[in-house]
Chain A
Amino acid sequence: MNGIHDMGGLQDMGPVQHERDEPVFHAEWEGRVYAINSALRATGKWNLDAWRHQIELLPPVEYMQMTYYERWLRINEQLLVKHGLVTPTELASGKPDPGSTKAIPALTAAAVANRLGRGIPSSQDPAVRPQFKVGQRVRARNMNPVGHTRLPRYARGKVGIIGRDHGVYLFPDTNAHFQGEKRQHVFSVRFTARELWGEHASARDTVHLDMWDDYLEHA
């Protein structure tokens, strides 16, 4: 989706506001949101790609006006309702609906360490064949899917060189919509700054993106 979240190359966003000795959380509620988010992810009702896409679905004006953890709060409320864990009336009242059953928390305090140690699925599965190899020239496809994608606009149609094969990962464009994992190779692709931004960019600089097989074609 060509949303506001796809920020690479936008201009006039102002200077970076660096904060000295920044705390991990700026308010107690931010920590609670962070933790609620992790605990709810443990229910397994939605995957990481679906979670990311929910943020992308925030209306652009709201996305820009919200702080980071305000976005997390909003999308967790939305995901809870969307996946049937909470009803809209419960969200509004703050109380369980009469007669609703009580669940068992997916994440207990004792299980947190183990949960944090669990990885994002990936493998070196030899049955999944790479479509490209290190050193090849490739073009990032010119595509504009309306759903979730991890191919930024600024790289579409540009030519780069494969620097590394990272192995096999789930394909976010389908996984985010619960349409299958479509496991495939992910590559590090090196683009020159001039290929991406034109002749005024530095002749020396490069930008490296990690790209799934389905984002690439031979060039």
Chain B
Amino acid sequence: MDSTRRGFLAATGAVVSQDLAKAQDHDHNHQVVPSDPTLRVKALESLLVDKGLVDPAALDVLIDTFEHKVGPRNGARVVARAWVDPAFKKRLLADAPSAIAELGYASGQGEHTLAVENGAKVHNLVVCTLCSCYPWPVLGLPPVWYKSAAYRSRAVIDPRGMLREFGTEIDEDVEVRVWDSTAELRYIVLPERPGGTENLSEDELAALVTRDSMVGVSKVPPPGAKA
């Protein structure tokens, strides 16, 4: 664990107090919090620790989990396994949480995962128009663009135009199937295996699989392609 995180609180306690004092001087009616989010978060964390409401060590573990352990490499391993093991792929499409658990990945927001398969006539795309629902155990926390107004608004009304901006052209005879995560179900796209990968190992295949391809905004590039 990064020891500098533990220093996160200690460093600027004095600065926070000054900032608050200044804010109070200016206007008592306004919300009295430092405008700089760094200072404001430090003030909040410090208060919550003092009140015994949060354990800073638990915060460190949570951050470490999503910075270093849970992320799109998990999903890439799931996809690569499905490409090389037809029985696993069948289980993944029928009962994704159990299949994903076989690889040792499980955590909140993932117990209701569904895998949707791309093919010659179907291209799947995942969005959450209402907030930011995303399959955490296999893809980690969502990127900023996935949570943006631009993505959330357009994915359902103009998926083809939006995909074109991602450099993804979908033929007219292919159905674009958009999954709006409006309940507690979470979707991961099983992308098509690119050509020229017949001799690659499962590890090499996993290295090809991008996060974006598992959200459905791009396809998996063939080996050696410029990203």
A residues near B (Cβ < 8 Å) are 5-11, 13-19, 22, 24-29, 31-36, 38-40, 43, 52, 55, 64, 68-70, 73, 76-77, 85-86, 90-96, 100, 102-109, 111-113, 115-120, 122, 150-152, 154, 166, 169, 186, 188, 193, 196-197, 201-202, 204-212
Contacts and interface: CB of A to CB of B under 8 A. Distances in A.
Given A94-B16, A118-B108, A119-B108, A52 B131 contact: yes
B100 to A, nearest CB: 12
A212 B38 CA distance: 40
Interface size band for B: 35 or more
Interface in B125-147: 127, 129-132, 140-141, 143-145, 147
Contacts of A186: 183-185
Contact of A150 (B153, B154, B182): B182
A210 B127 CA distance: 12
Given A31-B67, A210-B182, A211-B183, 10 more contacts: A5-B131, A6-B129, A16-B148, A94-B17, A94-B20, A107-B58, A120-B111, A154-B129, A204-B173, A208-B178
B200 interface: no
Contacts of B112: 119-120, 122, 166
Contacts of A25: 63, 67
Contacts of A32: 8, 41-42, 45, 59, 63
B106 interface: yes
A95 B61 CA distance: 25
Given A94-B17, A150-B183, A39 B62 contact: yes
Contacts of A120: 108-109, 111-112, 184
B154 A94 contact: no
A108 B148 contact: no
A204 B48 CA distance: 52
A40 B59 contact: no
B155 to A, nearest CB: 8
A109 B143 contact: no
Contact of B57 (A52, A109, A201): A109
Most buried by A among B54, B60, B66, B172: B54
A111 B65 CA distance: 13
A91 to B, nearest CB: 7
B147 A68 contact: yes
A42 to B, nearest CB: 8
Contacts of B195: none
Given A7-B153, A16-B165, A108-B58, A205 B178 contact: yes
Interface string B13-34: 0001100100010000000110
A12 B109 CA distance: 31
Contacts of A76: 44
Interface stretch (B80-88, B156-164, B201-209): B156-164
7 contacts: A29-B38, A36-B48, A40-B48, A86-B51, A91-B33, A92-B20, A108-B55
